[in-house]
Chains A and B, each alone.
Chain A
Amino acid sequence: MIAAWLAITLACAALLSDRLTTSGGIDALLPTEHRHLADEPLLMLLPAQDSSAQGSSEDDPSIALIEAAALVAERLGDERVPIAAPAGEAAAWFDAHALFLVDDDSLAQIGLRLTDEAVSDAVETLRARMSSPLFGVAGEDPRRDPLGLLGPLAQAGGRFASTEGPGASTVTAAGDLLADDGNALLVQLQTTRDGDAVMGEVRTAIGERTIVAAWVGPAHQEARAAAMVETTGGRLVAVALAAISAVLAAALRRVRQTLSIVACLASAVLFAAAWLRELDAWSLPLVVLWLGFACEGALHLQRISARGWPAAGVLATALMPLWLSPYPAWQRASWVWAVLVVLALVPLRVVLPAVHARIGGAVSWTGRGFRWRAMPMLAATAGLVCLVAGIVAVSSLHYRGGDRVALGEYGASSAQRRLVEDFFDPATIVRAHSSGADPAAALEQAAVDARLLAEMIPTDAVRVDSPGLWVARSIELERRRAALQALELPSRLESMRETLTAKGFRADAFGEFLRGAAGQAGAPTAEAMLDGPLGPWLRRYLTDDAPPRVRAFVQLGGDPDAAVPRLEGAEGRPLALVGPAIAARDDRAGFADWLGIYALCQMWIGALVVWLGTRSLTIAISAAFATLATHCAVLAAMAMLGVPVGPSMLPALLLVGASATISAGRACRAIDLDRPLFATGLIVTSLCQIAAGAVLLGAGVPMWRAMGLVVVFGATTASGIGLFVAPGICKVLRRVAGVDDGPREKGRP
């Protein structure tokens, strides 16, 4: 037996180096359709720290960044796409089609401003204002808009937001985003290649320039999370094993006993690593917790049933409720955890006794136990307090969605900070899709949908970035053509030219405006956009799906607690938004209900297992009550400590619930059998769980800290509730039901 175990362990160790990979898994709690666009990494270019010392005082960092971006674009070819429409092309498109794209009210305002009197007045005012030394910095663009016609359009609810980019930045001529202070430039890529390979090419393109390139956004977070798992994974497991060893050594005070248990646990780690193949930021903490929860299998405590399988059953099925959840990582964890428990219990229950038989040091609880008795009053009071505290706390808990992965110092970088501060927070960007029989039809549908999306501004959304906003809806084209004809544009523009000349202006200097206004005969149709200079920019929005789809990007408001906007198009057709923020907001809306469902599922499964092991309904119900009381106590503690609740802490909550079920089953069973209860063993079990939780708590990663805290507090509470509450509740139930105090059979301790 021992030889076979050693052989399997060595084989797993040999396999491990080739098979175990790490990934970030920052999207692992999000449904697939809501995940970040993996093929759209964001690249930020920044001046090197020492560039200011090297460059002359006349050097403008923005110029160096724009030049570097041009080199990157040249090197990467189609892999680099404009994040916003190139400034020149965008301005030309709007100048040529503005009168088609504005709403009816704005067009009426423009009509009023084009009368002879209004034009004369506007030109005189312009001349008067030009004498001010502040005229050039007043934010006016007289060459493009001498009459201030576009002024009201800019205020028209973000219709032209796409020309300004998603944040407080400016769009470069190439369609990249330049930070307001000119010290950072954001480049959008569209590639499925490995990030390191692309970055290598970027650095080659930049060459010796004092420019730094860095990934930002979700791709950066994913890479940092993967690096975090790789660097901390082995250390965390080793620290967890060391902490468990310390607990066992302190409690058992036997070297051989402690070493053999730790050796079995270590071999289980190797089995698990060989089987899992991949670790991410969510599975690593589960492995650490698994070590803490599984080692109780080695302690041979008071058993719930004669054969002692219910505790293993409760532990293995602890995460089963998560199979119902919408979180892919936890759905997988629901059965992976069961396999992990089996992988741990096999060496602990099969190999460990064999080791003890050979080298001695088996755990013996003889003489350590004490007679325990039920305390109905204390149980009822404590149980009630826990339930009330939990119910009250639920409403005050702060929700943290699966879209917000807090990596702490591992995810922090100056480039990432600049992305959020100077450009936009990628976590707030969501998508909508419009489809059609061909790209032109899809774009036309996008024009309809984009107006619908724009209605979300400013209550639900900050900006809408859709090429559809740049295209006139076909149903309105004829109506708008008629309205423009009524404006008599050619004669009014001629009159304006004469007025400008009469007032001493050089009419040709306003050619940009005059040409644009005169060219309004060409309508901004989908075909015109696809065939025009904006076509390359559209690549990012058009997907290769069948049928073709056009994407729109929507920046939601900053309030993560806001409800998901429900949009309904013509004929009641829903317009669905997808993205991490939408998944989180959807989840938040039903999280409290689902938390209850997961808890009920766990109570039911746990009670069933306990009932199958004891054939006592009152013990099963008491164990379920202990689980519920533990959940409530943990939620109350989280509310008091300000720890956010969310999908990330569900496994920890369910694990401490399982711990309470096991603890309650053991205590009730010990009283029923009139056997001594091994307090030391129960404490050691809890301490091992607490040790695992403490390892996560001290890992320095915020996303793991909440899990660790829940386990540390929950494991402590679970033992207490199992010991003090469950037997009392069991006794109360039996009194109420009029049954005796259970079978005083002679079972195995």
Chain B
Amino acid sequence: MIRRRSALALVLAGLAAPQRAWGDEIQDKRLSNRLELWGNFAKRTRSLVARLTITRNTSLLVEPLVVTGTLVYEPGGRLVLRDDGLTGSTTIITADSLRIVPNRAKATAASTIDRGQIAAAGWLGDRLRFAFAPGDGTALVADSRTDIPRGGHRLDLLPVRDSATRRLVRSLSLHFDAVTGAVIEIVIAEAQGDRVRLQLADHRQNVPDEDLAALVADVDALVAGPS
């Protein structure tokens, strides 16, 4: 009896090993396909402007928070998410800093997030920035585990399993346009249960510099604070 069990275990183990390797191969292929789709759009990006709708589902609010705004990716690598209206805020993400500035803010309300102290902030900021930056996708999926669901044109990025980031962020999902490869939706699942959806539309790639400058002029003024 024992011999039969041992033999059965060996057979199952023998079958499982190639199955696993085959599964890994499929995942790699899907990841390659998604990055290729994303790259079709991203590789042409020098700058980007898109309409933005942010929806935050949170237990703090009676109703989900919905704001509209503009996403601006600048050639220097700065990503700006600017809410319309004075009740919203502006998020500025660069390679060095992460800032949230209320649009109606007094200077004291602006906050800089310490990337060194909160690893999750650095990880999330980098993923958002690299989602719109040109490249081969290596930077986008760095420091992350990837999951590519079978249906849809989606790429899920998860913090590596032994990182402090996982305590704040569970996942970040990128949805791509099936034809152009542009990022049309980003869903962030936070560890405490909040869910943030960023829907993008009206993508305009490589807008003239003067238009871009006009768009971000008030952002610079906002960051500088009230004089």
Contact = CB atoms under 8 A, between A and B. Distances in A.
Contacts of B89: 128-129, 131-132
Contact of A133 (B102, B164, B168, B198): B198
B162 A137 contact: no
Given A136-B169, A183-B162, 13 more contacts: A58-B161, A61-B161, A62-B162, A131-B56, A131-B88, A132-B81, A133-B128, A133-B186, A133-B196, A134-B113, A139-B114, A504-B63, A505-B62
Contacts of B169: 136-137
Interface residues of A, number: 32
B115 to A, nearest CB: 10
A124 B85 CA distance: 13
Interface in B48-105: 54, 56, 58-63, 65, 67, 69, 81, 83, 87-89, 91, 93, 98, 100, 102-105
Interface in B97-126: 98, 100, 102-105, 109, 111, 113-114, 117-118, 120-121, 124-125
A509 B63 contact: no
B153 interface: no
B92 to A, nearest CB: 10
Given A130-B58, A504-B62, A505-B61, A180 B124 contact: no
B203 interface: no
A506 interface: yes
Contacts of B166: 60, 182
A137 B60 contact: no
A370 interface: no
Interface stretch (B135-143, B187-195, B209-217): B187-195
A192 interface: no
B45 to A, nearest CB: 19
Contacts of B69: 131
A88 to B, nearest CB: 16
Given A133-B196, A138-B100, A138-B118, A506 B162 contact: no
B145 interface: yes
Contact of A137 (B58, B62, B124): B124
B61 A60 contact: no
Interface of A: 57-62, 124-125, 127-139, 142-143, 180-183, 504-506, 509-510
B32 interface: no
28 contacts: A57-B161, A59-B161, A61-B161, A128-B88, A128-B103, A128-B104, A128-B105, A130-B60, A130-B61, A131-B88, A132-B89, A133-B91, A133-B186, A134-B91, A134-B98, A134-B124, A134-B125, A135-B56, A135-B196, A136-B168, A137-B113, A137-B118, A137-B124, A138-B113, A182-B163, A183-B162, A504-B63, A506-B60
Interface of B: 54, 56, 58-63, 65, 67, 69, 81, 83, 87-89, 91, 93, 98, 100, 102-105, 109, 111, 113-114, 117-118, 120-121, 124-125, 128, 145, 161-164, 166-169, 186, 188, 190, 192, 194, 196, 198
Nearest to B83: A131
A180 B105 CA distance: 33
A212 to B, nearest CB: 15
Determine the main DSSP class of B at the interface with A: mixed
B113 to A, nearest CB: 5
Nearest to A138: B113
B104 A139 contact: no
Contacts of A129: 89, 100, 102, 111
B156 to A, nearest CB: 13
A134 B196 CA distance: 10
Given A128-B87, A134-B100, A181 B163 contact: yes
Contacts of A180: 164
Contacts of A62: 162
B163 to A, nearest CB: 7
Contacts of A128: 83, 87-89, 102-105
A600 B69 CA distance: 82
A580 B146 CA distance: 49
A147 to B, nearest CB: 12
A146 to B, nearest CB: 8
A138 B124 contact: no
